[in-house]
Structure 1
Amino acid sequence: MSRFQVRKVAVLGAGVMGAQIAAHLVNVKVPVVLFDLPAKEGQKNGIVTKAIDNLKKLKPSPLGVADDAALIQAANYEENLGLLGECDLVIEAIAERMDWKLDLYKKIAPHVAKHAIVASNTSGLSITKLSEALPAEIKPRFCGIHFFNPPRYMYLVELIATPTTQPAILDQLETFVTSAVGKGVVRAKDTPNFIANRVGIAGMLATMKEVENYGLSYDVVDDLTGKKLGRASSGTFRTADVVGLDTMAHVIKTLQDNLDEKSDSFYGSFGTPAVLKTLIEMGNLGQKSKAGFYKKVGRDILRFDLEGKDYVPGGEKADAVYERMLKKPAGERLKLLRNAEGKQGQFLWAILRNSFHYAAVHLATIADTAADVDLAMRWGFGMKQGPFELWQEAGWLEVAKMVQADIDAGKALSKEPLPKWVFSDAVVKAGGVHTPKGSYNPTTGQFQPRRQLPVYQLQYFRESLLGDGSPKYKTAGITLHEDEAIRIWTLDDNRTSVTGSVLIASIKSKMHAIGPGVVEGLVRAVEIAEQDYQGLVIWSGDEPFSVGADLQATLPAFMVAGVGAIEGAEHEMQQMMLRLRYASVPVVSAIRGMALGGGCELAVYSQRRVAAMESYIGLVEVGVGLVPGAGGLTYIARRAAENAAFSTNKELLPFLTDGFTAAAMAKVGTSALESRKLGYLLDSDVIVPNKDELLYVALNEAKAMYQGGWRAPLKRLFPVAGRSGIATIKGQLVNMRDGGFISQHDFHIASLIAEVVCGGDADANTLVSEEYLMALERKAFCSLIVHPKTQERILGMLNTGKPVRN
């Protein structure tokens, strides 16, 4: 069968979800046409153009670069249905009204290309019922595709087949959504709210019910059900505010309308909570209306009081004893909570028991295997572990007995017993539902492997599940050197293969901070790669790429040996950066998450960068009262000279301005696309939509560079802006200082940055070397490290994690 190519996508519906799906398709360079009804007044595409304009105002931004909103093609159902024939994929994302959707399908059906996939982005309506409005030739190419909101940031996409959907269609769509769109796909059965919302919203309703039972405040509940419980940091009620209380109410109504006591024994818990009903009636819909369960007044966060229908001071925290309990191993943790005497502990056990109970009872009806449930909850609700993973880690049979005992005692939300498969020989002997053979399928009674589509060959370390025995990047391959700072390794000992011919360096320090051990390790990695390999990839397996220099490791040396120790450490870092840039084999940085300060410098001194879409890159040293000191400012000056050399305008300062501003204001690219605009990624660098394909692409990029005859750049001198450039920049800084926009210390730091990027006390267009500018960097850096105001900023950041303005 020929490869399924998505050359253009049509999105039907320019509402919140439709517009943001279109935005993310533009992010990943997929051409998209956004449709909606013709406007009653003015231009016919007015509804769509307004939605596109609104995309540029939303926070967090659905667009990697706001200007890319212009790449979305506007269309309406009256004039432009012919455009559907150009589209390989049609995604319907109009309001959750079955009758409206069915009417639209009848309207578009004659215009859809004969090969195109048609998919509905419904969050819970029956995909099979929706398909009934389509002609017979489209039904095999129709399915559900449920993006989670916001589509750019949420990793989960659920695919849902109808009885008439061709299996190959789902495989094609899963391949596109995984690799081109950058998402994690689970396949759900066609039941109300599918997997994640079915389990997640039922869990939120159960939590709210238990909150009433135990009389806890919303902020205490959020403190208990956030990171401490291994879930999204927003907890329960803040998550509801972010999602939107009207959206949550709609999903609840879908459960209420499509289920009953017979089809779901937990149905009695699906009533709309009184507090949710009250808030919606008040128009307090959560974050989008600036008031929901919480309301921000000035710097204070207030919480809603149902009795008084008003907001009261918040900020109450959970008892410390439960925080300690939640740090215990899983088995011990659950026993302690179940036997807790305090309400907070009893509440925690109740919601965990309810989650195990609900997931087990409904597994067979909502998903093929336990893997789909656990991955859906991790990707869709920000859980560290899915319910089955936690259950398995805590001891499958023992937890099952505790849950069943509570059901028998009438403590659970439903009287329905755990399914027989929970206690079956196969599951009990395996110690749970996830094994190296696969995850349990209650319909077949077998452990079923995850789908092995060709696209997953691009994911060397596909996201694993507890107990599945999949390879871990920390121990995979062949290690050539490892210490507490770094691991130098290769995936295969066959150096003529795609993977084994390239060396990998993985930083092991906390937050992948760059200390002396990392510097030494990266130099060693270059030496090994030059001797025996075709390239080096710097990839550490998880986020962040690197938060920069290890301040905590640097301060003791400063206290003992003074500023000379700092100068020496900075010099070593600079020399390492130059070693990467001028290595005789290609060095590729594979960036995911934050690459800040020294992490940014590590990236820009590599010979190429492969970045995940959600990469946040920038020189942020100003936030701790310093200047970039490991070559960042030298890079800005060199790139300005290179850009000017290729321009008809040979004046250097205009090419320097953006780089200076980015460093002086600690600008961070809030996507890989924006980082490219800031100059931290180049047009030759690769942006990868799916984070799990990053290593594959980086290894192949390094290999292709080597086999294409790549050679390191020759060292050369380049011109600087000199004294006149410094004077121009300082003149602007004086205005900002005198206008109260920056402090005197900010002015001092920015002036030092200007002096370095302009080449110090030199005439305009003086030719300098990288080493010359790096010496200026070290001098500026060391002058600041002894400055009292900078020391205040450093200590403030170490103590609170927040920048100090002084």
Structure 2
Amino acid sequence: MSRFQVKKVAVLGAGVMGAQIAAHLVNVRVPVVLFDLAAKEGPKNGIVSRAIDNLKKLKPAPLGDVADAVLIEQANYDDDLAKLGECDLVIEAIAERMDWKLDLYRKIAPHVARHSILASNTSGLSITKLSEALPEALKPRFCGIHFFNPPRYMFLVELINTPTTEPQVLDDLEAFVTSTLGKGVVRAHDTPNFIANRVGIAGMLATLNEVEKFGLTPDVVDDLTGKKLGRASSGTFRTADVVGLDTMAHVVKTLQDNLNAETDPFYANFATPPVLAKLLELGNLGQKTKAGFFKKVGRDILRFDLQSGEYVPAGAKADEVYGRMLKKPAGERLKLLRESEGPQGQFLWAILRDGFHYAAVHLADIAESARDIDFAMRWGFGMKQGPFELWQEAGWAQVAQWVQEDIDAGKALSTVPLPKWVFEGPVAQAGGVHTPEGSWSASQGQFIPQRRLPVHDRQLFPESVLGANAADANMAGTTISDEGDVRVWTLDGEVLIASIHSKMHAISPDVAEALGAAVDLAEAEYKGLVIWSPDEVFSVGADLQAMLPAFVVAGIGAVEGAEEELQNVMLKIRYASVPVVSAVRGMALGGGCELAVHSAKRVAAMESYIGLVEVGVGLIPGAGGLTYIARRAAENASASTGTDLLPFLTEGFTAAAMAKVGTGALDSKKLGYLLDSDVIVPNKDELLYVALQQAKAMADAGYRPPLRRTFRVAGRSGAATIKGQLVNMRDGGFISAHDFHIASLIANVVTGGDVDAGSLVTEEYLMALERKAFCSLIVHPKTQERIMGMLSTGKPVRN
């Protein structure tokens, strides 16, 4: 069977979205050509050139490695339309103007390859209307694709078909977007603003309505509607500032222009809120103009006050009682909020009720099933749960009754009743919209299972919705042991899996012992060992809280013993007779980084943040991290024609001394924590599958561990050179005296201590230097201040 392959992509439009989509394609190593209008003055590709230059400056960074900006091929519509014939996918991402898009389609249609998919990146324009400008032969290969901003980081992509789109086209595109681009796909109906923006922007407008009704301020509202409510930490108003108030206004206008009171019974609430209109009038568009609902002046955060038209001090917090309410179980939580007499509690119940009401009324129109709405709100708006999941968890029938009572009492934003399916038939009998058989489709009147394409077989534990009873990775497979905060298990009887489940996957002596035992078992009975955990953290490093009591009771000897045991585990992993593969996702810091670099191979999710960060608590890497830096420098130098070891050592030393953390897998590779031979996986849900396949392939290829050997170090002269630079930094006031002391210890270890340049050393020798330096810092008063400060506040102490 032929397979749709995307060997090259064209992106039309070098604006904010188009350029960032092109950047993400480069991140995942897909060749891309970026088009825009020919410049009227200067080089004809000047518009594209400037857009690519701007990519290097944007925060958060669209490029995993800014040096990869040169990989984006530049083109213009006057000279380069023939290049479209080289592309398997063409993504149009010009401004949200129907007339401009239609005009461009007429221009490019003759040049699009016969097999290519053409997709419009739009946040809400009708895909069917856009297709009308295309020739009949191209219509079956045309659809909508909606990336969320910023495309590198936002997980959600909506795909939208037209009546003439071939089903296979959407299947092919979903496979590419899922596996190659690393996204979560939701298929939306061709309705204004599709799913996430339709529900999300309606929810933001409802929130603004309720804010006015209850007289709350933006800072209090953001405190209420952020993490406490299980939503993005930026809350409501800060999120709007980040997105851009002009962008928000555009999406609102799409609702206003394409809906009416007949097609949307909530239409009366879609008027542009006065505060938003005023900020737009002032040109205060949010983060991009450094002023929106909030404004930063020096270190002070101000909020906009509509009454005065001025910015006033912000920082007010919600009443603590509501924070406590929001920690209660879902049913109890909603009951307390609904019965609350305070405006903040009433406000919270109102916005949740409004969300339930809107999602239920529009389910049949905008989405194939309730699952699509919940996924869209989780992935596109940072919600911990979608509206239907929360409703179902809190008790479907009871919440439905409360919502309908508010509608009947005139408290809701619309008088339209909840649909009949809420109270009658399969949903009422099942106690919600999500069941093991599938999620409720209001348009089809039945529960439908989640779509399964061949690409989804790579997702062993994909994200699921509450009530679906999906396999839980924490209990899946066959458990071999579950001790010391490490579950050792297998899915197939061939490869062993070790999952750390301590808080933030911190590595305590018990965790280290369990990992060592897992290596022993893997060597005896399995093809290999994969270290993987089913959440957003690989490991944040050593468990300082477990270490301090041992220090207090038994003194420094206990710490040194624990460090030596941890180092021995790292060496056991490195020299295991079967491959040990670290499947890294999220943070791999300190000891987590050391665990990864001592593995035979690393399989890392694209958004993996890897680094040695011990200096932040006044320590140095103590489980072989500095030994790794020294060894890698020697290996790189031996592969070079140069004889000077120091240039190869400098970058690793700097990374450790400055606690540099890779801002993603590509940046972590530049820092040396990932190698060219390692595998970067765009989709986090495919990480375990790929890691298991790598372990099996290595074993089947006859894997042998590296031979133990000595390697060269830079010696005391290399340490002196590094320290000379540190003196300048200390004397210039760039680092403190304690920073200088810590960095000097790092320099001593990575250069091999008091030996001649070029001396041959072993890993064990350098690890002994690490232990000595680490233990000397543990007893240092300033390091203890840093450790206690981090444990109590979570923030580094500068002393």
TM-score (norm 2): 1.00
| Structural RMSD (CA) | 0.6
* Per-residue deviation, 1:780: 0.5
The corresponding residue for 1:209 is 209
The corresponding residue for 1:497 is none
What are the superposed Cα offsets for residues 44-64 of structure 1, whole Å, 9 maximum, x if unpaired? 000000000000000110000
The answer to whether the 8 Å contact 2:206/2:351 transfers is: yes
The answer to whether the 8 Å contact 2:27/2:63 transfers is: yes
The corresponding residue for 2:573 is 580
The corresponding residue for 2:646 is 653
Aligned length: 799
Q: Give the residue type in structure 2 aligned to 1:369.
A: S
The corresponding residue for 1:684 is 677
The corresponding residue for 2:706 is 713
Q: Give the residue type in structure 1 aligned to 2:738.
A: H
The corresponding residue for 1:120 is 120
* Per-residue deviation, 1:703: 0.4
The corresponding residue for 1:10 is 10
The answer to whether the 8 Å contact 1:13/1:94 transfers is: yes
2:159 aligns to what SS in structure 1? Answer: strand
| Corresponding position: 1:617 with 2:615 | no
The corresponding residue for 1:293 is 293
The answer to whether the 8 Å contact 2:226/2:233 transfers is: yes
The corresponding residue for 2:721 is 728
- Residues in 1 aligned to 2:399 and 2:425: alpha-carbon distance in whole angstroms: 16
| Corresponding position: 1:50 with 2:43 | no
- Residues in 2 aligned to 1:292 and 1:578: alpha-carbon distance in whole angstroms: 53
- Residues in 2 aligned to 1:379 and 1:242: alpha-carbon distance in whole angstroms: 16
The corresponding residue for 2:372 is 372
The corresponding residue for 1:482 is 482
* Per-residue deviation, 1:650: 2.0
What are the superposed Cα offsets for residues 714-756 of structure 1, whole Å, 9 maximum, x if unpaired? 1111111101101110111111111111111111110000000
- Residues in 2 aligned to 1:402 and 1:99: alpha-carbon distance in whole angstroms: 45
Alignment of 1:390-469 (within 5 A): 390-469=390-469
The corresponding residue for 1:496 is none
1:417 aligns to what SS in structure 2? Answer: coil
* Residue of structure 1 aligned with 2:661, choices 656, 668, 674: 668
Alignment of 1:226-375 (within 5 A): 226-375=226-375
- Residues in 2 aligned to 1:789 and 1:682: alpha-carbon distance in whole angstroms: 35
1:727 aligns to what SS in structure 2? Answer: helix
| Corresponding position: 1:146 with 2:146 | yes
| Corresponding position: 1:779 with 2:772 | yes
What are the superposed Cα offsets for residues 772-799 of structure 1, whole Å, 9 maximum, x if unpaired? 1001001111111111111111111111
* Residue of structure 2 aligned with 1:800, choices 780, 793, 797: 793
What are the superposed Cα offsets for residues 270-328 of structure 1, whole Å, 9 maximum, x if unpaired? 11111111111111111111111111111111111111111111111111111111011
The corresponding residue for 1:536 is 529
Alignment of 1:697-776 (within 5 A): 697-776=690-769
- Residues in 2 aligned to 1:650 and 1:506: alpha-carbon distance in whole angstroms: 42
The unaligned stretches of length 5 or more in structure 1 are 493-499
The answer to whether the 8 Å contact 2:715/2:756 transfers is: yes
| Greater mean deviation of Cα atoms: 796-805 or 269-278 | 796-805
Alignment of 1:33-112 (within 5 A): 33-112=33-112
2:537 aligns to what SS in structure 1? Answer: coil
Q: Give the residue type in structure 2 aligned to 1:622.
A: V
* Per-residue deviation, 1:484: 5.0
Q: Give the residue type in structure 2 aligned to 1:165.
A: T
The answer to whether the 8 Å contact 2:28/2:181 transfers is: yes
Q: Give the residue type in structure 2 aligned to 1:429.
A: Q
Deviation >4 Å, runs of 4+: none
The answer to whether the 8 Å contact 1:718/1:768 transfers is: yes
- Residues in 2 aligned to 1:798 and 1:273: alpha-carbon distance in whole angstroms: 44
The corresponding residue for 2:599 is 606
The unaligned stretches of length 5 or more in structure 2 are none
- Residues in 2 aligned to 1:70 and 1:558: alpha-carbon distance in whole angstroms: 52
| Corresponding position: 1:200 with 2:200 | yes
The answer to whether the 8 Å contact 2:484/2:513 transfers is: no
Q: Give the residue type in structure 1 aligned to 2:381.
A: F
The corresponding residue for 1:179 is 179
- Residues in 2 aligned to 1:305 and 1:796: alpha-carbon distance in whole angstroms: 37
The answer to whether the 8 Å contact 1:586/1:710 transfers is: yes
| Corresponding position: 1:788 with 2:788 | no
Q: Give the residue type in structure 2 aligned to 1:139.
A: K
1:332 aligns to what SS in structure 2? Answer: helix
- Residues in 2 aligned to 1:805 and 1:280: alpha-carbon distance in whole angstroms: 41
What are the superposed Cα offsets for residues 396-431 of structure 1, whole Å, 9 maximum, x if unpaired? 011001100100010000000001111122001111
The answer to whether the 8 Å contact 1:62/1:152 transfers is: yes
- Residues in 2 aligned to 1:444 and 1:209: alpha-carbon distance in whole angstroms: 33
The answer to whether the 8 Å contact 2:581/2:603 transfers is: yes
- Residues in 1 aligned to 2:310 and 2:702: alpha-carbon distance in whole angstroms: 70
2:22 aligns to what SS in structure 1? Answer: helix
What are the superposed Cα offsets for residues 129-180 of structure 1, whole Å, 9 maximum, x if unpaired? 0000000000000000000000000000000000000000000000000000
- Residues in 2 aligned to 1:552 and 1:291: alpha-carbon distance in whole angstroms: 41
Q: Give the residue type in structure 2 aligned to 1:279.
A: L
1:610 aligns to what SS in structure 2? Answer: strand
The answer to whether the 8 Å contact 2:484/2:514 transfers is: no
The answer to whether the 8 Å contact 2:484/2:511 transfers is: no
- Among all aligned residue pairs of Structure 1 and Structure 2, give the percentage whose two residues are the same amino acid: 78
The answer to whether the 8 Å contact 2:125/2:193 transfers is: yes
Q: Give the residue type in structure 1 aligned to 2:682.
A: P
The corresponding residue for 2:166 is 166
* Per-residue deviation, 1:516: 1.1
- Residues in 2 aligned to 1:138 and 1:555: alpha-carbon distance in whole angstroms: 67
Q: Give the residue type in structure 2 aligned to 1:745.
A: H
1:102 aligns to what SS in structure 2? Answer: helix
* Per-residue deviation, 1:483: 2.4
| Corresponding position: 1:505 with 2:498 | yes
* Residue of structure 2 aligned with 1:516, choices 509, 521, 541: 509
What are the superposed Cα offsets for residues 449-488 of structure 1, whole Å, 9 maximum, x if unpaired? 0111000000000101101011010000000000251100
Q: Give the residue type in structure 1 aligned to 2:379.
A: W
The answer to whether the 8 Å contact 1:484/1:508 transfers is: no
Q: Give the residue type in structure 2 aligned to 1:685.
A: D
